[in-house]
Chain A
Amino acid sequence: MSKILVIAEYIDGVVKKATLTTLDMARQLADKKGADIDIAVLGSNIGGVASALTGYGAGTIYVADHAELEHALAPTWAKVIADIAEEAGADVIAASASTLGKDILPRVAARLEAGMASDVVAVVDTDDGPGFRRPMWAGALLADVVIDTDTWVVTARGSAFDAAPATGGESTIESFAAEPGLGASRTRFVKFDGTKSDRPTLDEADIVVAGGRGLKSADGFAQAVEPLADAVGGAIGASRAAVDDGFCPNDYQIGQTGKVVAPQLYFAVAISGAIQHLAGMKNSKVIVAINTRDDEPINKVADYSLVGDAFTVIPELCEKIAALKAAG
């Protein structure tokens, strides 16, 4: 029997949507392979995370609760994940293509001598059995790949899957005696400087408001993007150019090498739409471009293009959205 081990991600003890989208990918794969699903939760003081995941159809939830696992340091987490995979008899190890998954899962693959498919957007049938679809060349082409080793390692792109709904049923929670070996990892956690925001995060938001270089400065970025994000209850994103120029924090970056999003509604404000940016947002359901021109690459993917200066258009837009909301 095939077994898929899903690595849970959480923040402040709350399960992240990335865990549920990975579970969705795992279910699709389980249907094709005839596999069972287990979940692994690693960290320190994480009992709550495991109990929150019992309704999702996993057979066993392995809890590796250990002080040395508090920070997701790649060598120690990879070792413990590989150890749990062996104990569970898992032949597929899956995680989100978040920065955590991207950092750690290749080390798991190397430990298990497994082939790895990164940033998977679909589970597909190929002539050689179940495979994975993944974007290459900034999404200019999609590749169907197969893994030829007995054990597979996969990271799933969050925006390409739905959050798996709870299906009821109970999972067995099993404490796993982890041996992280922090000393041998020769890695020391120094600090984490979190981006503070009360807005939704990019990977969980239904609406994203992203700003680009056309906003000219950090002040301009804040002045244009923040009121609109607040008016629609959206998350804030940015083009690489805006991040490079210091208009906003690095984890706002949307694109090939930043975050990939597919919200219901995407506002691109003063963004021209380089291919690398489009790679991170072109699967959004509805795209609105607000720009001083209507012949930029962004306009070729936008459903609605509004031509105008963001600094005059956005206050009007915010005011009218507020009026709409007030009218119910």
Chain B
Amino acid sequence: MKILVTAKRVTDPNAKLVIDDDGSWIDDDVEYILNPFCENAVEAALQIASDNDAETIAIGIGDEEVQRYIRQGALARGVDRGIHVDAEEQELDSDLIAKILKAVVEREEPDMVLLGKQAVDGDSNQVGQLLAEMLGWPQATFASEVKVEGAEAIVTREVDGGLETLAVTLPAVITADLRLNDPRYASLAGIMKAKKKPLEELELDDLELDDEEPKVRVVKLHEPAGRSAGVVVADVDELLQKLTTEARVL
């Protein structure tokens, strides 16, 4: 069995973002972390691999810096090897990222692709689903539990109104929600080992995509209207008085 898992780098959610001079992207001189949902996907890949004797491969897309997040976020935690696809992240939309992943899936032929359900920078929540359709594979998104039973993965999904359980025949695409697991920390030994693990570097040209044009373009970024802090009320009576006579919402 073979599992491909994504290791996407995202801006640190607590970083102060500055819109660049062009107005259509951010100044990329900020702190980055591994996408939290990818941490869940990596953990799930490792757990499934240990139960099913599988090989695990982490993939990251972006400039050379991305290799750090593949090594520290995935290989140091125990993923067997990495693939880095060199590309300018800003020029990729969800569709192109899915196409890159599809090309890698065709080279590696994994039984399962695990991704974070969304990247917390773009917040699009599309790549796993796009990839599944492009491959003609079943999908189980927003997973909070995954078990492999024979030729199927039994997946519990977090959906509006409750929890849905699906059985998908492998190979399949599964996207991780936050409650899927508690990602392990990399051990010191893991970090040392990660430095020697294979990390293949691919250029976009190596993947022979049929199309390299993004379908969706950001034309302008702007700051949302701010919300100013209100007042501290003295007690319950003052709060109720404000809600009924000032805000008129009760």
Contacts and interface: CB of A to CB of B under 8 A. Distances in A.
**Chain B interface, >50% SS class:** mixed
A55 interface: no
Contacts of A306: 232-233, 235-236, 239
A194 B231 CA distance: 39
Interface in A206-222: 207
A205 to B, nearest CB: 13
Interface string B143-166: 010000000101001111111111
Given A240-B178, A250-B163, A305-B230, A146 B219 contact: yes
Contacts of A104: 129
Interface stretch (B50-58, B119-127, B195-203): B119-127
A304 B230 contact: yes
A33 interface: no
Contacts of B166: 73, 187-190
Contact of B130 (A11, A106, A240, A285): A106
A102 to B, nearest CB: 5
A138 interface: yes
Interface string B161-186: 11111111100100001110000000
Interface string B1-31: 0000000000101100101000000100000
A186 B168 contact: yes
B249 A250 contact: no
A146 B141 CA distance: 26
B94 interface: yes
Interface in A232-273: 232, 240, 243-244, 249-251, 256-257, 259, 264-265
A141 B121 CA distance: 10
A211 B206 CA distance: 51
A8 B132 CA distance: 23
A258 B13 CA distance: 16
A226 interface: no
Interface in A99-118: 99-100, 102-107, 109-111, 114-118
Contacts of A251: 158-162
B243 interface: yes
B123 A137 contact: yes
A87 interface: no
**Chain A interface, >50% SS class:** mixed
B107 interface: no
Interface in A127-178: 127-128, 131, 134-149
Interface stretch (A23-31, A40-48, A58-66, A313-321): A313-321
Contacts of B239: 288, 304, 306, 317
Given A191-B165, A244-B178, A320-B237, A302 B229 contact: yes
A143 B232 contact: no
A31 B139 CA distance: 36
B216 A146 contact: yes
A203 B160 CA distance: 10
B137 to A, nearest CB: 8
Interface string B227-250: 101111101110110111001011
Contacts of A275: 13-14
Given A103-B142, A119-B123, A148-B215, A74 B129 contact: yes
B244 A324 contact: yes
A70 interface: no
A265 B250 contact: yes
Nearest to B116: A257
A185 interface: yes
B220 to A, nearest CB: 4
Contacts of B123: 118-119, 134-138, 256
Contacts of A276: 13, 120
A88 interface: no
A136 B127 CA distance: 15
A257 B178 contact: yes
Contacts of B235: 306
Contacts of A188: 152, 166-168
Given A137-B17, A143-B218, A111 B133 contact: yes
A67 interface: no
A307 B141 contact: no
B122 A136 contact: yes
A192 B162 contact: yes
6 contacts: A99-B159, A110-B129, A137-B13, A251-B159, A259-B160, A286-B247
Listed from nearest, the 6 A-B pairs whose CB atoms lie closest are: A115-B215, A106-B129, A110-B133, A303-B230, A186-B169, A190-B165
Given A114-B215, A144-B218, 16 more contacts: A99-B157, A103-B139, A103-B141, A107-B130, A110-B130, A111-B133, A115-B214, A127-B219, A128-B219, A145-B216, A146-B216, A185-B138, A190-B154, A250-B158, A265-B247, A305-B230
Interface of A: 11, 73-75, 78, 98-100, 102-107, 109-111, 114-119, 126-128, 131, 134-149, 185-195, 201, 203, 207, 232, 240, 243-244, 249-251, 256-257, 259, 264-265, 275-276, 282, 285-288, 294, 299-307, 313, 316-317, 320-321, 324
